[in-house]
Structure 1
Amino acid sequence: MAEAAAPAPAAHRWQAVAVLVFGACVIGLSPILVRLTDTGPASAGFWRLLFALPLLAVMTVRTSGPLGRPSKVAALAGVMFALDLGFWHYGIKYTSVTNATVLSNLTPVVVTAFAWIFLKQRPRGLFLVAVAVAITGATLMAAEKGGGPGIDPPLGNALSATTALWYALYLVAIGEGRKNEGASRLMFWSSAVGLPLVLLGALVLREQIIPASAAGWAACIGLGLMHVAGQGSIAWAMGRLPTSTASVVVLVQPVVAGYLGWILFAEAIGPIQALGAAVCLAGVVLAQGASRAKAEVSPSA
C-alpha cells in the first residue's frame, strides 16, 4: 500500500479493481460503527483518524522511510476529507436517510465533471450511462429507508449534497497524489491534516467527545482500523485506476452498509431496495467495463 503510483497494466487492472472493491466494502462499515461510538458526529471522525495515525505512521516508515512533511496535495486531501466527514454525519442528522443517501452519492457526477472540465479526461458515452445506472441504484436503495423527514430538511439536504463535493475533491486529490506518492504516506498526512479540523468542529459544536461506554471505545478503535484498511486500499487502487472509475466503484459502500444494517440492526430491506442494490452493482460493473474498453483503445489511459 505504499508504492509510488503507476498506471496499471491490463493484466493487473482487475487486481486494482478487487482492492478498490475491498476498500469500499470495508468503508461500508462506517455508518454502523459511527452509530456505536456514543459520541457526536464530528467526534466519531476525530477518533477514526486518531486511532488510524499510529498504524499509518508505522506503515509509512517501514515502506517509504521518514515521515517527512505533507505535500500540498496530501494537505488538500486532508482538508477535503475532514469536511466530508463533518458534512456527511450532520447531513444524516438533519434530513431524511433517503435524501442524505441519494445526495451524498452524487460523487461520481462531480468527479466525472471535474475530470472532464479541468483534467481534460473526456468520458465515453457508455461510462456516463454507467454513472446514471449506479446512481439510480443508490436512489432506489434509499427509497425504502424512510427515517422521517429530519429535524431540518433544507439544511440537511444542503449538507448532504455538499458532502458529494467534498468527497469528490478528496478522491481527485488522492488520485493526483498517487502519481508521485505512496499510498501509506498520502494516507498518513491526509489523516494528520484532517484530525485537528474534525476535533475543532466537534468542540465548536459542543459535541460529546469522549465515548460513554466500553463498546463506544471499541467502535472508535474499529473506525481507526477501518480507515486504514478501507481508505488505504482505495488510495492504493487509485494509483492504478482512473479517478472517475474509482468514484463509481466506491458506490458499493451503501450496498454494504444497507445489508449490514439488515444483519446487525434488523433494518428491513424491501424489494425496491434489493433491486436498487442490484442496479447499483450493475452500474459499477458497467463503469469498469467502459473504463477498461477505453484503456484498451488508448495505451496512455
Structure 2
Amino acid sequence: MSEPNDKSALIGLLVLIMGAVAIGMAAPLVKLSELGPQTVGFWRMALAIPFAFLWMQFDRDPPRKPETPAGWKRWLYLALPGLLFSGDLAFWHAGIKITSVANATFLANLQPVFVVLAAWLIFKEKITKQFMFAAGLAVAGAALLSAGNITVAPERWPGDVLSMATAVWYAAYILAVRQARRFASTGTVIFFTVAVSAPILGLTALGFGETILPGSLTDWLVLIGLAVGVQIIGQGGVAFGLGRVPAPVASIIILIQPVVASIAGWLMFGEAFAPIQYAGAALVMAGVWWVQRKSRTAASRGLAKPPPGG
C-alpha cells in the first residue's frame, strides 16, 4: 500500500478515538439537564444543524465515483443515518427510564456484536480470530464496567429489550454511515444526520408530552455542549473515521465511550468506581489497543482500501 493510504488509515483511527472520547460525555451531560430525555435529543440535533451546515460547505463531497448511488438512492443513503440515529436515541432514552442505567449502558454497548455479524453476513467482510479475541476483550470490559449495578428483574425487562434494540439501531447507524461515507464527505453525512433526526426527535418529545423550551441558562449550555461536543465533534469524528476504518474495527473503538462516561460520572457526580470497573476499563482499552494495532498492521500491508474523500 502507498504511504498516503497508510497515513490516511492512521488519521482515521486517531480521529475515531477522539470522537469516541467526546461521545463518552453524552450521558453525564444528559444527566445535568432538567429537560425530558427526548427533548434533550431534539435540541442536541437541532442546535447542531448550523454547525453541520458550515462544516458541509467547507468539506465538499469527493469527485463522483462509479459506486456513487444515482437519483433517489443517493438521498436515501444520506437520509438513512439520521433515521437510524433517531431510533437509537429514542429507544435509548425510553429504555433508560424503565430499566437501570447499568443495564441500559451494557445492553446498548453490545452494538459491536451486531456490527460484526452484519459485516460478515451482509458485506462479506473477513473477520479474523484475532479480531474476535480483541472484540471479546472489549465487550467483556464493557460488561464489567456495569457489572456492579446490573440487575435482573421482570419489571425491568421491557427497558432491557428497548436497550438491546438500541444496540441494533446504533449498529445499523454505524453501517449506514460507513456506506454513505463511500461517496459523501463527513460534513455532508453529519448535516443530513442532524437535519433528518431533529424533526423526528422533536415530534417524539411532543408525543411524550415533554416541555420543549429550556428554562435556564444551565440547560442551554448543556444542550450546546451536547450539540457541539458530542454530536459535531464526537459523532463527526466517528463519521470521519468510518470513511477510513472498517466498520467492525470502528465499533470496537467506540467502546471507549462507556469508559469515559464512567470516569466522568465519578469525577462529576461522585459515582462509585469499584475495582471491578477498573478491570473493565482496562479490558476495554486492551481490546481497543489490539484492534487498532491490527488495523494499522493491515493498512501497512495494503489490506485497507483508500478513502473516497475527507
Tell me which amino acid in the other structure corresponds to 2:254.
Answer: V
Distance in 1, matches of 2:59 and 2:15, equals 19
Cα distance in 1 for residues equivalent to 2:130 and 2:117: 15
User: 1:178 Cα deviation (Å)?
Assistant: 0.6
Alignment-mate amino acid for residue 199 of structure 2? P
Alpha-carbon distance in 1 for matches of 2:58, 2:302: 36
- Tell me which amino acid in the other structure corresponds to 1:116: W
Counterpart among 80, 99, 102 of residue 103 in structure 2: 99
Structure 2: segments with no counterpart, 5+ residues: 62-71, 306-310
1:203 aligns with 2:235: no
Cα offsets for 1:88-118 (capped at 9, x unmatched) = 1222211112211111111111001001001
> Counterpart in 1 of 2:56?
60
Q: Does 1:109 align with 2:105?
A: no
What is the TM-score when the length of structure 2 is the normalising length? 0.89
CA deviation after TM superposition for structure 1 residue 292, in Å: 3.4
The reply on whether 1:264 has 2:268 as its aligned counterpart is: yes
Structure 1 stretch 282-291 or stretch 81-90: which is displaced more? Answer: 282-291
* Residues 32-181 of structure 1 aligned to structure 2 (within 5 Å): 32-64=28-60, 71-145=75-149, 152-181=155-184
What amino acid is aligned across from residue 239 of structure 1 in structure 2?
A: G
CA distance in 2, matches of 1:48, 1:36: 14
In structure 2, C-alpha distance between the alignment counterparts of 1:208 and 1:268, rounded to whole Å = 32
Q: Contact between 2:59 and 2:186, CA under 8 Å: does it hold in 1?
A: no
Q: Deviations over 1:10-46 (max 9, x none)?
A: 2332221111110010011101111122111111010
State the distance in 2 between where 1:45 and 1:299 align.
Answer: 38
- What displacement does 1:144 show? 2.1
Summarize the alignment of residues 181-196 of structure 1 with structure 2, pairs less than 5 Å apart.
181-196=184-199
Task: Kindly state the Cα deviation for residue 184 of structure 1 after the two structures are TM-superposed.
Answer: 0.4
- Partner Cα separation in structure 2 for residue 8 and residue 253 of structure 1: 29
Q: Contact 2:9–2:299 at 8 Å: present in 1 too?
A: no
Moved more, 93-102 or 246-255: 93-102
- Partners of 2:41 and 2:201 within 8 A in 1: yes
In structure 1, runs of 5+ residues without a counterpart are: 1-6
Distance in 1 (CA, whole Å) between partners of 2:200 and 2:301 is 43
User: 1:223 pairs with 223, 226, 245, which one?
Assistant: 226
Give the direction of change, closer, same or farther, for the CA distance of 1:159–1:8 in structure 2 (3 Å limit): farther
On the 8 A contact 1:80/1:167 being kept in 2, the answer is yes
RMSD: 2.0
C-alpha distance 9-282 of structure 1, shift in aligned 2 (>3 A): same
One-letter amino acid matched to 1:121: E
Report the 3-state secondary structure (helix = DSSP H, G, I; strand = E; otherwise coil) of the residue aligned with 1:267: coil
Write the distance in 2 (CA, Å) between the matches of 1:208 and 1:239: 37
Residue 145 of structure 1 deviates from its aligned partner by 3.9
Give 1:255 shift: 0.3
Quickly say closer, same or farther: Cα 1:8–1:130, change in 2 above 3 A.
Answer: farther
Aligned ranges for residues 20-31 of structure 1 at < 5 Å?
Answer: 20-31=16-27
Give the secondary-structure state (helix, strand or coil) at the position aligned to 1:33. helix
Q: Is the 8 A contact 2:10 2:296 kept in 1?
A: no
Partner residue, 1:15:
11
CA offsets per residue over residues 128-178 of structure 1, 9 Å max, x none?
Answer: 1111110000000001246x7789411110110000000001000111111
Amino acid at match of 2:90: G
- Are the counterparts in 2 of residues 52 and 228 from structure 1 also a CA contact under 8 Å? yes
Contact 1:94 1:151 in 2 (8 A): no
**Offset of residue 289 of structure 1:** 2.5
Residues 1:274 and 1:300: Cα distance change in structure 2 (over 3 Å): closer
Q: Which amino acid aligns with 1:80?
A: L
Do 1:95 and 1:149's aligned partners in 2 also have CA atoms closer than 8 Å? no
Secondary structure in 1 matching 2:162? helix
Runs of 4+ in 1 over 6 A off after TM superposition: 148-151
Q: 2:154 & 2:215 partners in 1: Cα distance?
A: 24
For residue 120 of structure 2, what is the amino acid of its counterpart? W
